[in-house]
Chains A and B, each alone.
Chain A
Amino acid sequence: MKQPTNVKTYLSALACGLLMGLGLVISGMVNPQKVIGFLDLFGHWDPSLAFVMAGALAVYAPVYWLVVKRREKSALQQTMQIPVRTDLDCKLLIGAILFGIGWGLAGICPGPALTLLTTGESQIVLFVVAMFAGFWLAPKWLSLLDKN
């Protein structure tokens, strides 16, 4: 079913990206040292980022369960596209492990990588380019595995 794409959906997406970006900056998620400090459970642990997740869930969960879940269409008349899968497959687990290794090595996940681009740091640009190369390589790598 084709939906009318309108300016409003672009503007709302822009605003949502902006809100999340502001949240990433204010919360400290954009600071790789802080992320590493949170992951350093057996060293000098900084529990701050657990509060980031708590704050995010405290807003997302009630709005989802009380307001969004019962809707058939979004407020801008878009089809609700919510994942329904419940199976645990190898791809999910292997993907999460690979992501966990990368996150632990650099302390940067996809959102902060994009939000940090404005710093103009060459290391960040390099990270984002490598991340997009990873996005591009993953399906090719998987289809190679499928063939063999």
Chain B
Amino acid sequence: MTEFTPISALLGGALIGAGGVLLLLLNGRIAGISGIASQLLQKPNGDWGWRLAFVLGLIVAPWVLLPTAINIAPLAERSTTLIIIAGLLVGMGTNIGSGCTSGHGICGMARLSKRSIVATLVFMTTAIIVVAVSSNLKGWS
């Protein structure tokens, strides 16, 4: 169980929204993180450079925060097999479904895209079911 943190959630969310909409305003691109990252696997073209820059920004962000000593919680104890399966599902699912929490959940929802609203409802509902089932299984064991 984790603590309810509405203020940092709102503030962090506003930064996520700001980064996303600035990418659209400045570069004319949707800030879908799965799409941007997955297209780095393609042969480099004119769009490869900004995608790499964006991903690097995401990766180095915690280093910028170090002076203010914000802790990044270590990953909860999970088996290696489960991590690999989850990673594969996240990669395949976001690729097949053309987006993740950022592309569909924020950029698409904000634009009132029907596809994104449906995708977000579907992945949220699915994830809620998975968590409900797995916490029940843990309860029995």
A and B bound? yes
- The digit string for B97-112, where 1 denotes a CB below 8 A from any CB of A, is 1101110111111110
Instruction: Contact check, B102 vs A20: say whether CB atoms are below 8 A apart.
Output: yes
> Contact at B53–A104, with CB atoms within 8 Å?
no
User: Shortest Cβ distance from B54 into chain A, in angstroms?
Assistant: 4
Contact A53-B90, Cβ < 8 Å, known A46-B4, A80-B28, A107-B76: no
Of A44, A57, A100, which one neighbours B125 at CB under 8 angstroms? Answer: A100
Residues on B facing A (Cβ under 8 Å): 1-6, 8-31, 33-34, 37-38, 41, 46, 49-51, 53-65, 70, 72-76, 78, 80, 82-98, 100-102, 104-111, 113-115, 118-120, 122-132, 134-135
Complex CA–CA separation, A112 to B90 (angstroms): 12
B8 and A141: CB pair below 8 A? no
Size category, A interface = 35 or more
The answer to whether B2 and A33 have CB atoms under 8 Å apart is: yes
**In the complex, are the beta carbons of A27 and B85 less than 8 A apart?**
no
Complex CA gap A103/B114 in Å reads: 22
Secondary structure at chain B's binding surface: helix, strand, loop or mixed?
A: helix
Cα(A80)–Cα(B25), bound, Å? 8
> Mask for A93-121, Cβ within 8 A of B = 1, else 0?
11111111111111111110111111101
Please pick, from B27, B70, B76, B85, the residue contacting A13 in the complex, using a CB distance under 8 A. B27
Contact between chains at B101 and A59 (CB < 8 Å) = no
Are A134 and B91 within 8 A (Cβ)?
yes
Contact check, B31 vs A16: say whether CB atoms are below 8 A apart: yes
Question: A48, B6: Cβ atoms under 8 Å?
Answer: yes
